[in-house]
Structure 1
Amino acid sequence: MEQSEDIHLLMTQFGHTSTTTAALYTNPEQEKAKKAAKLLGERRTNYREKD
């Protein structure tokens, strides 16, 4: 999805009949949340190591 940005291509590759179903695998907000949580965890670890 990141490369083609084509939900219909992704839908076909996954064998889905609905773009809604395919979109569940490509939710950019969910990926942003995962990245933010990871960065927060890294900051906490770095903060603790300084003590």
Structure 2
Amino acid sequence: MMRFHFLIPLLLLAASTRSIADSQVYIWQRVWQDGLDLGSEPSIGKTSV
């Protein structure tokens, strides 16, 4: 059983890395769409005059 003791942190790391990658993809899709839609409402970081 001790042989597989190192698998638990490895699985946790893989799961967290996957969720971080998914959130990064979502963020970049939002940024890309906001960059293309110039007439849409301002997103975070943009100031409306």
TM-score scaled by length of structure 2: 0.53
The letter of the residue matching 2:26 is L
Residue matched to 1:20:
6
Q: Percent identical across equivalent pairs?
A: 6
Report which structure shows greater RCO (CA 8 Å, sep ≥6): 1
Matches within 5 A, 1:12-51: 18-20=4-6, 24=10, 26=11, 27-51=14-38
Query: Where does structure 1 differ by over 4 angstroms across 4 or more consecutive aligned residues?
Result: none
Aligned residues: 35
Query: Can you give the 5+ residue segments of structure 2 that lack an aligned partner in the other structure?
Result: 39-49
When the two chains are superposed, the root-mean-square deviation of aligned CA atoms in Å is 2.3
Query: Can you give the 5+ residue segments of structure 1 that lack an aligned partner in the other structure?
Result: 1-16
The alpha carbon displacement at 1:20 in A equals: 1.9
TM-score scaled by length of structure 1: 0.51
